[in-house]
Amino acid sequence: MGHDKTRSDVSVGNVDWEDPRLTSLLSKIDGWNIDNRNHVRPQEVLIRVTCGWSASDASKPALLISEADGVMVLGTYFPLPHGEEVQVQRQNGAEVRTCRGVVVEEREGHRAEDREQHIYLNWLRIRSS
pLDDT digits (tens, 9 = 90+) for 71-94: 999 999 988 989 999 999 998 888
- Does residue 50 surpass a pLDDT of 60? yes
Query: Domain map of the chain by residue range?
Result: 43-127
Three-class secondary structure of residue 86 per DSSP: strand
**Residue 1's pLDDT band (cuts 50, 70, 90):** very low
The mean of the pLDDT values for the chain is: 81
Q: What is the mean pLDDT of residues 43-69?
A: 82
Burial 16-49 (b: 16+ CB within 10 A, else e): eeeeeeeeeeeeeeeeeeeeeeeeeebeebbbbb
- Does residue 125 surpass a pLDDT of 70? yes
93-107, pLDDT tens digit by residue?
Answer: 889 999 999 999 988
The pTM for the full model equals 0.64
Q: Which residue has the higher pLDDT, 1 or 48?
A: 48
Give the domain 43-127 fold: Thrombin, subunit H (2.40.10)
